Structure 1
């Protein structure tokens, strides 16, 4: 195989997922992932700091999230700004053809505690990024924190629903609907 091949990062992700499914996360090495992708170990480390990170996209999602919040219309409130970002993420990161991969990825993560821990840390990082992006829009700190936490919950639920192969909704639409459901539950608990 040629020394340089396009889509090295995506090839590494696919190879890692296949190997994690076949052998388990603990029984797969970086060298095996690189070889399966037709690449070298050094190429792997140019794209990912370790094998745990290979299924988590580096900072791609954070960048899309922050850019989406920043690009929301100036008059948008905090919830609408995050909903705008979820629309962007749906178009850019979660096209329908990625649904099967997402379901497989979720199954691998669910089966390995170290990957579940990384998923939780990624969620915390995304929430912190939402808070910072909202505060840069002038949203008060407490409001930004509450909105980011609610949106983080909605995002997680929407992603689980979207990655179900039986679901055919677009991610952005599903995320907005889930966000409305989460908001309705929160509001219902404040009533006597």
Structure 2
């Protein structure tokens, strides 16, 4: 497909809980299939396509969705709100540097002064510039990055919420729970349970 591979598409969509992916590929390589399944693919079919196999796979997929309470219901339990929250296509170099710094240091205590110093600008300048280009405040972006990282851990099987909170930059467990619920509409505990359905 143009612009990205199937694996890259799965990586982009892996936090969307209202979908089920079936890979059709000409790559008969175990590592490629393993990577696809790790990213949440329901099944992996090889080309040239066997129509009976495809039909059987689609039936299994429908059964799976019915047993899980339908796509819509599962989405209500574990909806990921940042999937469409892509970075703007045009960002200044200074803001790119700030985004990279945040992405690399999200687990640390980040201050506006520190981020402003990183690009040799004032905190006031950074506040205005960031909000204008990113359509959100610095604190909103930092929280979203941290919550995204916490969900990655949850999807990888981590279920100790206190440890997750610490690892993504929240020393206060209760505050992490409050922020998590604000951005996902679910508590960390209920979100983890929804992933196990």
TM-score (norm 2): 0.28
TM-score (norm 1): 0.28
As a proportion of its length, which structure holds more helix?
A: 1
By relative contact order (CA 8 Å, sep 6+), the higher-ranking structure is: 1
As a proportion of its length, which structure holds more strand?
A: 2
Bigger Cα Rg: 2
